Structure 1
Amino acid sequence: MEDRAVGYAKKRKGNNGNYRYTACYLDIKGRMRSAGTYSNKKDADKAWQRQEVEVARGRTGDPGRGRQHFKDYVEQTWLPNHQIEATAREAYTYAIYRNIMPTFGSMRMIDILPEHVRAWITALKNQGMKPVTIRYQKIILSAIFTTAMDDQVTFIHPCRGVRTPPVVRKPLEIITPEQFDDVYHALPEGTFRLLAETEIDSGLRWGELSELRVKDLNLRTRILTVSRTVVELNPKFHPEGRHFLVKDYPKDKEYRRFKLSIQITEKLEAHISSANLTRDDLLFQMPPQDKPRARITEIPDPATLGRTEPNEKGRTYNHGTLSAYTAGRCRCDYCRAACTLYRAARRAEGKDNPRPRRVRETDGHIPNDWFRRKIWYPALAAAGLNSRPTMRDLRHAHASWLLNGGADLQVVKERLGHASISTTERYLHTLPDADETALEALARTRNRSTTR
């Protein structure tokens, strides 16, 4: 091994005629660095010797890097080079600029200490932020400083040892088979009923379900292969500026295969045949959006339609008039029609430019929020459920129903693609009648004395 030159104190004369000493040392790459300038050689020697020790320990970073501002490090180094999923990058970016950057953006990296992180968490709590959200914000901040320590930008991790408010895990509320039947029959007939039934039968994640293609289902063996998922992004986070990004692997980054029931397989086969779907087509596609809504083309005499509810000034208006729509803020069919006909007349006279009909941009995939607002929530309202389950809750129901019916825990874990079996165990005994056997056993024991 080659001998490596040691540091030294460089003597130089200042503008005032006094001599000063610059502590010089070699970093791990053999470059000469300064550890500061001192008024005497003794202090300079101690400075370069301390730095040599740090280099030997592997702490070879330039101390000047820690003086950069948090905002500059995140924008110029961390965000551009941190390897994360596109959806995580989108969520992290929004969280950083909304909740982290206002506090730490103008601070130097070396100046951020645990006390500052504790004060920040307290401020978020006082703003009414939920504990689970606070924990998420701290996870992002901690990831930034973990990378900064690895890059030797700073040697203090200000998030370590800092606690967040406790997050209470609420019990899962599982939709029952009877409740699902009510929602199922409230859904529009056709594709969306089949989509919901496929979800309850397979337990797929939404991205896996909406990316299913004909080639993923073997109709003879009834084996479904989950090998891809699709995510929705703001176009600025998409590599090609689009809304949907198909990933060639599911969330757990491992393909999985499982069998579907005979009933759902036959329905999917009939759907494929009737829709003339090819091997590469999506099983569930966004319906056409160019169908115009039915509109009232003629309004009866407004005097016969009654009056609107009083507005904030206590005034009422005849239904079917422009005043009722604008001043009365009524949105009944006749008041909407009055506004529509008025605007159509102005456009016909060349006074207004027609606005193109707004449609949801999609490449065939069904947007998650569009499905919730247009299809799922109306069905829940029509079904009269007290709770408001989501499509993700159907995945929970799939696991719970399987375990309640006696399915093997490991089999359910593999069907759902859980990384840990402890995640699957959360679905044990989650249905409302799951404790019935325990209560019956308790009753038999308590009543044993009365039968003697």
Structure 2
Amino acid sequence: MGFVRTYKNKTATRYQALYKDAQGRQQSAGIYDTKKEARRALREAEGRVISGKPGDARRGRQTFHAYVEKTWLPNHRMEATTRQDYTYAINAHVMPYFANLKMSEITSEHVRDWITKLKRKGVSAHRIKYCKTAILNSVFTTALNDDVIVNHPSRGVKTDPIPEKPRAVITAEQFSLIYNALPDPVAKLLVETDIESGLRWGELTELRVKDLDFATRILTVSRAVVELVPEHHPEGKRFLVKDYPKGKRSRRIKLSAQIVTKLKAYAEAEDLGPDDLFFSRRWEDPPKPRLELADPASLTFTAPNGRTYTHGTITAYNLGKCKCDRCRRAYADYRAKRRAKGRDNPRKPRLVDTDPHLSANWFRKHCWYPAREAAGLDFKPRIHDLRHAHASWLLAGGADLQVVKERLGHRKLSTTERYLHTLPTADETALEALDKIRSPHTVQDSTPHLEQQLEEAQTKIAELQAALADQLLAQNANNRPNLRSV
């Protein structure tokens, strides 16, 4: 049974509510100014014990930083890529404001003030919504369920609306321009496979020979690879292969005969085994050759400090702040000589990454971006936009919406519906139908055409007037008396 303890001093009398938790340990429900408030808190605390949620006021006194770093982030179940994104967003946008606040002291007012300060710093509305909806809501929901807090501070707090921009989709002509500008046949095969299958990058670069049945042209998508910073990788590596694609559900799609023929020929030419990747790092560019200076004295430049330096020297690197390849090489050689003499601490040996998976960043910089610039498009499509183009082309060609949904691996049909009417020619059928209805009643507003119609009408009126005049003359002639007979 709980009870209220009275504390008296020279200035006031305070009342502390004490109760026993589920383990029989005495706990405090707080100190209050009146006995009535203490008894109310005592009843609420005992009610939580009976209902199985005893709570502990001391847990709410821990700071937001301590709770997130020690309790929430290590134990929250999420994908490795999601954990990496959450960590960066928390450190950049959430911790600077909430770190030193106690969990029980955080209110909705704090959350609204945090949103206002992020807006003043220039953080985008999309990023603010991500931090609030995905991170803060999850942190406070977990804390509420674990009785760390009694109220949900971010529930009901709104962020600025994010207008949905029209999706720009690559047309067949634009894809041909990018395709023809790619540097080598393997890059072309990778991009063509992407546009033909609609795979995500992680699914495409984890595609192995055994996943494609050359006889039936059926491709099984059952894995995906993600690229991580080593500190967020479970084993400290760079690539992590997941035994399931996005959505945690495998799917089977059929490819066209021409792309299967190309993939089969490529696998035979490269002597790929069943477990080998179709697209791997074996065709990445070799390292750049070492730059040599023919006449260093002739390669001078004026630094921002107004002084003249020579490329390929230590002073150019340190004082001139030049970071060109020659100056960086000179500085690296200088440091290597010092380490060889034992003057500096030796650097850690560089680990050679033997993982064969292809890096998205490497492919963008060396293949996709140069080809995109050479194509001269009026927008900058991403590699992922090939997946959007695949869906849009299928729907524009008359493919069934449910078939496209299963082919792309979407969970909801509404996600696939976003690709409807994304191509410039998508509404031509509707316009043709509208023209068929309106064409008999179309009003022409062309002035020359109206003048021509007016002239034709006036000519017809003149012809009718002449015909009426002839009729009147004929009638008058018939009505006159015959003078010869009289």
SS of 1:448's equivalent in the other structure is helix
Q: Distance in 1 between matches of 2:114 and 2:32?
A: 37
* Structure 1 range deviating more: 225-234 or 37-46: 37-46
| Mapping 1:17-416, distance limit 5 Å | 22-36=16-30, 44-56=38-50, 59-139=53-133, 140-287=135-282, 291-294=286-289, 299=294, 361=353, 363-416=355-408
Q: Deviations over 1:326-383 (max 9, x none)?
A: 779797xxxx67x6997899799x6797999999845011111111111110111122
* Structure 1 range deviating more: 339-348 or 254-263: 339-348
SS of 1:447's equivalent in the other structure is helix
Query: How many residues get paired?
Result: 435
Q: Deviations over 1:37-69 (max 9, x none)?
A: 578876654442232234345542112211111
Structure 1 residues 352 and 178: alpha-carbon distance in aligned structure 2, compared to 1, 3 A threshold: farther
TM-score normalised by the chain length of structure 1 = 0.84
Q: Deviations over 1:191-228 (max 9, x none)?
A: 21111011000001111111111111111111111111
SS of 2:220's equivalent in the other structure is strand
Corresponding letter in the other structure for 1:177 = A
Q: Distance in 2 between matches of 1:41 and 1:315?
A: 79
Q: Distance in 2 between matches of 1:226 and 1:203?
A: 11
Corresponding letter in the other structure for 1:199 = D
Q: Deviations over 1:402-436 (max 9, x none)?
A: 00111110000001000100000111111111122
Aligned to 2:439: 447
Q: 1:422 aligns with which of 414, 417, 421?
A: 414
Corresponding letter in the other structure for 1:439 = L
Q: Distance in 1 between matches of 2:93 and 2:279?
A: 38
TM-score normalised by the chain length of structure 2 = 0.79
Corresponding letter in the other structure for 2:371 = A
Does the 8 Å contact 2:312/2:330 carry over to 1? no
Does the 8 Å contact 1:210/1:230 carry over to 2? yes
Structure 1 residues 378 and 207: alpha-carbon distance in aligned structure 2, compared to 1, 3 A threshold: same
Corresponding letter in the other structure for 1:34 = S
* Structure 1 range deviating more: 169-178 or 33-42: 33-42
User: Where in structure 1 are there 5+ consecutive unaligned residues?
Assistant: 1-5
Corresponding letter in the other structure for 1:429 = H
- Greater Rg by CA: 2
Does the 8 Å contact 1:289/1:359 carry over to 2? no
Q: Distance in 2 between matches of 1:313 and 1:15?
A: 71
User: Where in structure 2 are there 5+ consecutive unaligned residues?
Assistant: 341-345, 445-486
Structure 1 residues 280 and 114: alpha-carbon distance in aligned structure 2, compared to 1, 3 A threshold: same
Structure 1 residues 61 and 254: alpha-carbon distance in aligned structure 2, compared to 1, 3 A threshold: same
Q: Distance in 1 between matches of 2:442 and 2:40?
A: 89
Structure 1 residues 175 and 357: alpha-carbon distance in aligned structure 2, compared to 1, 3 A threshold: farther
Structure 1 residues 46 and 360: alpha-carbon distance in aligned structure 2, compared to 1, 3 A threshold: same
Q: Identity of paired residues, percent?
A: 52
Does the 8 Å contact 1:131/1:166 carry over to 2? yes
